[in-house]
Chains A and B, each alone.
Chain A
């Protein structure tokens, strides 16, 4: 049972344009949603999160949008930079699961100069 799904394995965008990464979930009990970025040969690093009581959170070039009725969230990167090229994981957890994370499959973002 894949509770968090990222249906796009890869995304390619031009430098300076917007990158939109999508994530869907099935568990309505999720309380927090997080995005992690992973470079090859490194562990995932935290990027941005959003509480289930909010619909938007912004941090510099990164904005996460949450649509609870659709059980969908997205990460917007504006403007995209070549250094943003990495695998992006969507993750979620609940108050009862604490810091244990349920991850999606990941999306490989490539930003072309």
Chain B
């Protein structure tokens, strides 16, 4: 059973560009959540996907968008990058979307916008 893997681990983008981050869920998990962790802060919920449908969204603008594929892997897309988008982006998968379901996190993608 493989864990949650994210790619790339690090990347640098220029303000105004677009970026796609990828997440491979743990085997058997149908729910993926994305979080943004700014320096010195806790992770902030961006959105969640359950069986390829968006299942809740945090307080992030529409330029943050996502996809979940039939194999339950997921992408986070950010358009028109801003300097404040620099952060660690974490993906978490779980076998269900219910409240007492454990979430397993990937190691994160460190995005730097210059």
Contact = CB atoms under 8 A, between A and B. Distances in A.
A85 interface: no
A102 interface: yes
Given A43-B4, A44-B90, A101 B107 contact: no
Contacts of A93: 99
A4 B108 CA distance: 22
Interface residues of A, number: 29
Interface residues of B, number: 30
10 contacts: A32-B100, A43-B107, A43-B108, A97-B56, A99-B94, A99-B96, A99-B98, A99-B101, A101-B103, A105-B41
B99 A105 contact: no
Interface of A: 4, 6, 9, 31-32, 36, 41-46, 49, 51, 89, 91, 93-95, 97-106
Interface stretch (B14-22, B43-51, B64-72, B73-81): B43-51
